[in-house]
């Protein structure tokens, strides 16, 4: 079913070459949006565009736009946004989805890895948002979506760099939301738990190498399509934030907020178990 209040909107999606970003491209495209596909790998973006054109050929849509970009190359992002606006005329919705995960203890993780993950997950999204904002403010309309994580609300052992970057996104979003409300610009933060994507496969270890393993929790996670539907619904309803998770992560969030001492004990136990597992 096409939702009229977002059809014809220009939707810019980072990390659109696979996983959740690809699923979001399909979901927005089905709604008649003009999607702008952004990621590093042009060949994969071409594949996603072809899939969109062939999968939804009966839906009245616009030709998807491809703009390859690297979130690590922060200085280039403004020029990419200018290119998008010159092609599409505007950017109605920005979905900051591109990101990378991390596996490793604080002690074993090189600082360069922390910097890389923060640059991609936080600074890249912040830079794109800053580049898009002037045109949204000028038109007095727009919507910015940040794909955070449950781990942006409750940090886990051996995820310090990833959790820190998502915590930063949460704070940035709250400040931004308050500042742009008077300009009719909406901010939505999405905090999903595990999604069955290649996030763990592509995660960085403490030394900066690719983790290359599919975690059992990731394997058993939500489908990207399910999460994408929830996100589009949240955009339509202009929700400020949503958590997409099973009961256990929601319980952890509750404990962290209202019974922090118990939460800290549970996390310490989990950290101890992880340490013993690594020693074996």
Supply the mean pLDDT for the chain.
93
Give the residue among 37, 174, 20, 7 at the shortest CA–CA distance from 99.
20
Distance from chain centroid for Cα 214: 19
Question: Under 8 Å CB-to-CB from 160, ≥6 apart: which residues?
Answer: 102, 104, 105, 106, 109, 114
Would you call 237 helix, strand, or coil by DSSP? coil
Residue-level length of the chain: 280
* Token pair listed for 237: 């309803």
Dist CA 147 CA 108 (whole Å): 27
In order of their start, the domains of the chain are 10-245 (3.40.50.720), 247-280 (no CATH)
Q: Which of 47-51, 104-108, 210-214, 242-246 shows the lowest mean pLDDT across its residues?
A: 210-214
Give the residue among 235, 237, 265 at the shortest CA–CA distance from 252.
265
Phi, psi of 163 (to 5 degrees): -60, -40
HSE at residue 64, side-chain half, CA atoms within 13 A, is 33
Model pTM greater than 0.85?
yes
* 56-101 residue pLDDT tens: 766 666 889 999 999 999 999 999 999 999 999 999 999 999 999 9
Mean pLDDT, range 147-158, rounded to an integer: 95
User: Quick one: pLDDT at residue 279?
Assistant: 46
What separation in angstroms does the CA of 229 have from each of 78, 199, 234, 246, 277?
29, 19, 9, 16, 37
Catalytic one among 162, 194, 222, 263?
162
Dist CA 92 CA 87 (whole Å): 13
Dist CA 142 CA 93 (whole Å): 6
Q: Is the Cβ–Cβ distance between 95 and 147 less than 8 Å?
A: yes
Mean pLDDT, range 148-152, rounded to an integer: 96
Dist CA 174 CA 194 (whole Å): 23
User: Quick one: pLDDT at residue 280?
Assistant: 40
258 among known catalytic residues: no
* 5-30 residue pLDDT tens: 898 999 999 999 999 999 999 999 99
End-to-end CA distance of the chain: 52
């Amino acid at each position: 079913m096409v939702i009229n209040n977002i059809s014809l909107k220009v939707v810019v999606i980072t990390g659109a070459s696979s996983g959740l970003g690809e699923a979001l491209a399909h979901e927005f495209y089905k709604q008649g949006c003009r999607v702008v596909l952004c990621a590093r790998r042009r060949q994969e973006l071409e594949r996603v565009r072809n899939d969109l054109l062939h999968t939804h050929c009966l839906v009245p849509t616009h030709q998807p736009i491809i703009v390859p970009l690297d979130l690590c190359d922060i200085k280039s992002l403004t020029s990419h946004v200018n290119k998008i606006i010159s092609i599409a005329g505007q950017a109605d919705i920005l979905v900051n989805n591109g990101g990378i995960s991390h596996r490793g203890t604080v002690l074993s993780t090189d600082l360069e890895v922390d910097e890389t993950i923060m640059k991609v997950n936080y600074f890249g999204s912040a830079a794109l948002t800053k580049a898009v904002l002037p045109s949204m403010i000028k038109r007095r309309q727009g919507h910015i979506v940040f794909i955070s994580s449950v781990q942006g609300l409750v940090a886990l052992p051996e995820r310090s760099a990833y959790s820190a970057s998502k915590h930063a996104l949460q704070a940035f979003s709250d400040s931004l939301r308050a500042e742009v409300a008077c300009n009719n610009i909406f901010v939505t933060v999405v905090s999903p738990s595990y999604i069955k994507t290649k996030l763990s496969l592509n995660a960085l270890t403490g030394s900066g190498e690719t983790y290359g393993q599919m975690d059992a929790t990731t394997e058993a996670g939500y489908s990207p399509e399910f999460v994408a539907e929830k996100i589009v619904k949240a955009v339509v309803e202009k929700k400020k934030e949503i958590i997409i998770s099973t009961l256990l992560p929601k319980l952890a969030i509750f404990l962290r907020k209202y019974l922090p001492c118990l939460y800290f004990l549970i996390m310490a136990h989990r950290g101890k178990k992880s340490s013993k597992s690594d020693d074996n």
